[in-house]
Amino acid sequence: MVLFRFLAVGLGLAFLLNMAVFTITGQAQWRVRAMLCLKWGVVLGLCFFGLLILRRAAVFI
């Protein structure tokens, strides 16, 4: 769980920093990097909640 939190915070900060640099410079490569961080953040979130659901379901099996 600590690893998921660390990765989520890291991806969130990376997204915010990339969007800030994109806003300042206007270069499209920073927006692409920010969207990549956002995409992997969503994947991480889905994996996290999937693991929580599987842990709950294992009790009933």
- How many CB atoms are located within 10 Å of the residue 18 CB? 20
pTM: 0.82
The single residue listed with the structure tokens 């410079």 is 25
Give yes or no for residue 2 having a pLDDT over 70.
yes
* pLDDT for the residue 61: 66
Q: Based on C-alpha coordinates, what's the Rg of the chain? A: 15
Q: What pLDDT, on a 0 to 100 scale, did the predictor assign at position 58?
A: 81
